[in-house]
Amino acid sequence: MKYKILLTGSSGYIGSCFNGIFHKKLNIYCLDQTKPNFFSNFKKKNFFKCNLLNKKKLENIIYKIKPDIIIHLGAQSTVNEKIKWSNYYRNNIKATKNLIEIMNKFNVRKLIFSSTASVYRAKKKKLSEKDKNKKKNKKKKNKMIKKKKKRYFKNSKYS
C-alpha cells in the first residue's frame, strides 16, 4: 500500500524538486498558496491551492485527503530583515501551529519538518540536533520556535 503524503510548500524550491523526483513512486498530494511552476509532471487533481493560515480550508483538505504523512515545507524561507517579524510569525509559526492542530484533530501522526542547519552554531564537525542553537535572525528564531512547538505534539514521529 502506498502511503498518502501531503506536501506543503509544494510549489517552492524543495517541494517542486521532491515532487519532480518522487511523483511516480509515491502518492503525493501537493498544497501551496501559489500555483506549481517548476515541475511538469504535476497532476491537477492532486494539487490544492491553500494558504496554511486559512485553517478551515486546510482542515477540509486534510479531511478529504486523510494523509498518512505530512511533509511540511510551506514557509517564508528567505531571510530579509526588512520583513516585519509579525509577517514571519504569522506565515511560519501560526501556519505550522494550524497544521499541527489539524493533524492532532484527524490523528495524522507523522510529520516531516524541514528545519535549517543555520539555527546551530557553526562547527567543523557534522552537526547534530543536540548542538547548541545560535540566535541571530528572524528565520533562525522562527525555526527554533517551531522546533519547540513540535515538542507539544506528542506521540508522533519526526524526521
Point out which residues bind ligand NAD (CB under 6 A): 9, 11-15, 32-34, 51-53, 73-77, 91, 95, 114, 116
Rank residues 32 and 108 by Cβ distance to ligand NAD and give the closer one: 32
| Residue 159 beta carbon to ligand NAD: minimum distance, rounded to whole angstroms | 13
The answer to whether 112 touches 69, Cβ cutoff 8 Å, is yes
* Cβ burial, residue 1 (10 Å; 0-12/13-18/19+): exposed
Rank residues 54 and 155 by Cβ distance to ligand NAD and give the closer one: 54
How many residues are listed for the chain in this entry?
Answer: 159
Rank residues 36 and 108 by Cβ distance to ligand NAD and give the closer one: 36
Q: Which residue is nearest to ligand NAD (CB)?
A: 12
Distances (CA, A) of 4 to 1, 22, 26, 86, 90: 9, 13, 8, 33, 27
Rank residues 14 and 26 by Cβ distance to ligand NAD and give the closer one: 14
| Residue 12 beta carbon to ligand NAD: minimum distance, rounded to whole angstroms | 2
The residue type found at 38 is F
